[in-house]
Amino acid sequence: MAAIEARVDPPVELRVMVAEDLDEVVAIERASYAVPWTGQTFRGLIDRSDTDAITATRGGRVVGFAIAWSVADQGELGNVAVAPEARCAGIGEGLVREAVARLGRRGVREIFLEVRVSNGSARRLYERLGFVEIGRRKNYYVRPVEDAIVMRKRLRPRRTEGPGWTPLIPG
């Protein structure tokens, strides 16, 4: 379990998502997205070996989550959400940083994500964390129909231990 530098009290802790979290995760998802993922979707993801499902908890309550997965040396940041009452406190940033770090430990060399054109706060967060815009998906989102900005973050190898040991770390 890791703690994040969030501007809230009590402190926020990050941990692996478990089935007992799903009611709170789905509630946050529904409050955050017009077309939310289902509980069944989350349940399937937490059982996959190629997926990192992370929850942010505060005072025993789930206040946010991130879902990321990898295929070979590519990763996807598939979903990040923070409960409305917990937003603007650094929790989303902590979740993204943790997802990026975990993907790097899996050997991922680049991470992709899609974000609504209108979601300026998320786009600025991703840019601050090293993601760059590489394309656009026309009419990717529904309710309302809107383009997605495709963003990528490259991870760079760094030698930190012994000969031949080169884990990937966020660049």
Residue from 85, 77, 94, 83 nearest 15 by CA = 94
Q: Residues with catalytic annotation?
A: 114, 126
How far from the centroid of its chain's Cα atoms is residue 56's Cα?
A: 11
Residue from 115, 81, 95 nearest 16 by CA = 95
Q: Under DSSP, is residue 49 helix (H, G, I), strand (E, B) or coil?
A: coil
Query: Is 64:92 a contact under the CB 8 Å cutoff?
Result: yes
